[in-house]
Amino acid sequence: MNRSEKARRQFLVKVTQNVAVAVAGGTVWSYLLTEQASAGAFAIRPPGALAEEDFHAKCIKCGQCVDACPYDTLKLASPGEPAPIGTPYFTPRDEPCYMCPDIPCQVACPTGALEPELSKIEDARMGLAVIDIENCLSWLGLRCEVCYRVCPVKDDAISIQENPRKISKHAKFVP
């Protein structure tokens, strides 16, 4: 094999390697973009977060709100998590928001993605509770109050009512 054939072979090997790397990179990038598009529907944002579309437009994914949280509640999303990559979110079941009166995460936000006008933590709106009527003991007519007891803003966000629904049958617990 002469010198020009060897150089040609090396050139073709390098081109093939570069094409393979580009295809693999494109596949990974495509996956990440798909993840981004599908994420966020169930992400719970920090206190004072703007509406999701506005939040994405303003959030620069700097992580200052995460660093400011004294309870390590907030996380920056990684691939496969319920929020778009790099955006702050939290999972109340793992680590709830303790509703700090001075709202350090909001104060730390340099872009206004967390409502700059928010002055009282009680005015923050985070997530929406949904009653699972098949598993909620209170809905079934039994006294439970777990949701009420763990809520950081009792009586404002959740309240207990005596017989809120007119139940024609009495519920009873059957072990």
**CATH, residue 82:** 3.30.70
pLDDT for residue 76 is more than 90 = yes
Please report the pLDDT score of residue 164 as a whole number: 53
Distance CA 62, CA 86 (A): 8
Helix (H, G, I), strand (E, B) or coil at 117: coil
Please report the pLDDT score of residue 11 as a whole number: 87
- Domain total for the chain? 2
Q: Is 47 in the same domain as 121?
A: yes
pLDDT for residue 77 is more than 50 = yes
In which domain, by residue range, is 145 found?
Answer: 129-169
Q: Is 111 in the same domain as 91?
A: yes
Contact (Cβ atoms closer than 8 angstroms) between residue 110 and residue 65:
no
pLDDT for residue 84 is more than 80 = yes
Q: Is 68 in the same domain as 89?
A: yes
pLDDT for residue 97 is more than 70 = yes
Q: Is 76 in the same domain as 56?
A: yes
Among 2-6, 105-109, 161-165, the range of highest mean pLDDT: 105-109
Between these two residues, 37 and 175, which has the higher pLDDT value? 37
Q: Is 118 in the same domain as 158?
A: no
Contact (Cβ atoms closer than 8 angstroms) between residue 88 and residue 117:
no
Q: Is 118 in the same domain as 140?
A: no
Please report the pLDDT score of residue 32 as a whole number: 63
Last residue within a domain, chosen from 127, 142, 161? 127
| pTM greater than the 0.95 cutoff | no
For residue 139, tell me if it sits in a domain: yes
Q: Is 67 in the same domain as 109?
A: yes
Q: For residue 7, what pLDDT band results from cuts at 50, 70 and 90?
A: confident
For residue 34, tell me if it sits in a domain: no
Helix (H, G, I), strand (E, B) or coil at 75: strand
Please report the pLDDT score of residue 119 as a whole number: 92
